[in-house]
Amino acid sequence: MFRFSNGNRQIRQPFPHFPSNLQYEDQRHMTKRIDNFSAGPATLPAAVLEEARENLLSLGDSGIGILEHSHRSKTFLSVYEKAVAYCRLVAGIPDDYDILFLQGGASLQFVMLPMNFLGSDQTADYLNTGAWSKKAIAEAKRFGNVHIACTSEDRNFCYIPDEVSQSDSPAYVHFTSNNTIYGTEFSTEPGLPEGAFLACDASSDIFSRPMNVSRYGIIYAGAQKNLGPSGVTLVIIRKDLVARGNSELPTMLRYSTHADKDSMFNTPPTFGIYIVGLILKWIEEQGGLTAMQEKNRNKAGRLYDFLDSSDMFTPTADRNSRSMMNVTFITGNNDLDAKCIAEATAAGLDGLKGHRSVGGLRASIYNAFPPEGVDRLVQFLKDFELKYG
């Protein structure tokens, strides 16, 4: 137990790493933010965080903080409606799609998707491009047949396969648009056999570039990278599919339950929905998805350009499969990787350790990650190379 003194009073502080009110009072005007390259939860726009801070004690002039509003209150309903409206606007989502805010992360979508749409005598095609695809595949196998339409496991998922083999009449085709761990990203959607719908785990690149929503049956994404805090999952799903889902399932596991009740069958993740709404508004103010794509290409391009010119660092993903969101690279020497990560952390460049299954370094530079942070990383890597190269 850690104790510290407030004048004459001793205050018990069971969790010394959680700032107490007193520390918060002292620190709130000198917030220092460092470059956070975490793969998720990840950097969010400072303007959004500031607006949220303002609304913690009272949302607008309601006198009730955003965390405290009933989800049935008029004030919160307006927050929810704005989030849905901005989502439709930003991504150009047609009216025949429902927008749902669910819980359970992308991991629950790995289950809900086949549970709703894959009968035990049916087959779904899955493109296996990494650990998250594999998790989705494992869940689908509990409900029906899975055909692996392609895999890049032979080279530890460092590329997106060109060839996809389709099964005869799959219920749907599932792919992971960006592979967070391996730094690879699809440049276009895979082909779709007639009668099937396209299902996409877009957790780590949603709204980083324009998307043609009408090509998909369902798109889902945990919010904690490009959209907001963890705890809310965005699901964009065609209405005819919602109606077609397995009606025998437990209530909470049917898409129709959530669509019929505007994501409020039970208490929704209100704070998450609020932040997602602010972030979608922020994206719109930045110029929408086309502007996002340009900024993301620019940021990632500067980092890849350096890596390509470096004698010490090498990107791990094949050139034509490179992700704009997660840039993975290695020195080829584990000790040097570790030294680089440690020195970067000390220099205020945090979260660069690659996923344990790949090693090396990973810079996650989602929509809200500032371009100046990428420049600081490039400069740091250049200096590191000069010092130890």
Ligand X SMILES: Cc1ncc(COP(=O)(O)O)c(C=O)c1O
Query: Under the rule (CB under 6 A), what is the footprint of ligand X?
Result: 40, 105-107, 132, 176, 180, 201, 203-204, 222
Give the separation between CA 325 and CA 259, rounded to whole angstroms. Answer: 30
For residue 250, the surrounding DSSP H or E stretch is none
Q: How far is the CB of 201 from ligand X (least distance, A)?
A: 5
**Tokens standing for residue 151:** 């895999």
Q: Which is nearer to ligand X, 8 or 188 (CB)?
A: 188
3-state SS class at 101? strand
Q: Are 303 and 365 in contact (CB under 8 A)?
A: yes
Task: Tell me the closest approach of the beta carbon of residue 385 to ligand X, in angstroms.
Answer: 29
For the record, the structure tokens of 252 come out as 């909470």
Point out which residues pair with 176 in neighbouring strands.
201
Nearer to ligand X, 132 or 380 (CB): 132
Please answer whether residues 184 and 321 qualify as being in contact, where contact means their C-beta atoms are separated by less than 8 angstroms.
Answer: yes
The catalytic residues are 132, 201, 225
Q: Rounded to the nearest whole angstrom, what is the least distance from the CB of residue 272 to ligand X in the complex?
A: 11
Alpha helix segments (H runs only) across 224-269: 239-244, 255-260
Amino acid code (one letter) for 263: S
Measured from the CB atom, the residue of 71 and 135 that comes closer to ligand X is 135
**Smaller CB separation from ligand X, 150 or 381:** 150
State in angstroms the smallest separation of the CB of 57 from ligand X: 29
Distance between alpha carbon 169 and the CA centroid of its chain, in Å?
A: 31
Residue 203 beta carbon to ligand X: minimum distance, rounded to whole angstroms: 4
Q: Between 45 and 222, name the residue whose CB sits nearer to ligand X.
A: 222
Give the CA radius of gyration of the chain.
22
- Name residues whose C-beta falls within 8 Å of residue 196's C-beta, 6 or more positions apart in sequence: 125, 169, 170, 171, 172, 173
